Structure 1
Amino acid sequence: MVMRISRPMKRAGTKNEQFKKRVPTALLPLLRGKKLSIYLPETTAPDSATYMVTVTLGDMITFSLGAPVSRLAKVRHAAALGHVEAFLDAAQRGPEDLSHMDITSLLGEIHKALLAQYEADPPARHKIVVDDGVEEWSELSEWQDMITDAEEGIRTLTPQGRAAAVARVSRIVDLDAFLSARALVLSEKSYRDLVEGLPATLRRVAETLAQRSHGNYATDPYAAQYPQWKAKTTAARRSTDEYVKTFDDLFDRWKAADKRAASTISTWRGYLARFTKFVGHDDPHRVERADALRWKDALIAEGLKKISTTYLAALNTLYRFGLRDSETTGINRNPFEGVKAPQKAVAGTRRLPFTRPEVALILSAARKETLAHLRWIPWLQAQTGSRVAEIAQLWAADSFPWVSVRSLVARAFS
Structure 2
Amino acid sequence: MALAMTRPQKHPSSGYYWFRKRVPDDLRSLIGKREEHFSLGTRDPGEAKRLHALKLAEVEERWANLRLGQRQLSPDDIARLASEIGEQLRRRLEADPYQPLRWDVEVGARLWIASDTHDVYTDITQALSPADWKQLEQQNICYALVDEHVIGRGITPRPEDRERLVRAASIQVQRIIQAHEAYLLGKQDISSGGWEPSKPRTPAAPLTFEAVILGWLVEKKPNEKTEYSWRRVMTELSEFVGHDDARRVSADDLVSWKADLLAKGRAAKTIRDSKLAPARAIFQWAVDNRKLNTNPAARINIDLKSRSTEKRRGYTDEEAKLVLRAARTSKEAHKRWVPWVCAYTGARIAEICQLRSEDIKQIDGIWCIAFAAEAGSLKNVNSERVVPIHSALREEGFLKFSASIKKGPLFVDLAPDRFGSRGGTGTKVLSRWIRSLGVTDKRISPNHSWRHRLKTLGRRNGLAVDILDAMTGHGRKTVADTYGEFPPEAMLRELSKIPPLDS
TM-score, normalised relative to structure 1: 0.38
Q: Which structure is richer in relative contact order (CA contacts within 8 A, separation 6 or more)?
A: 1
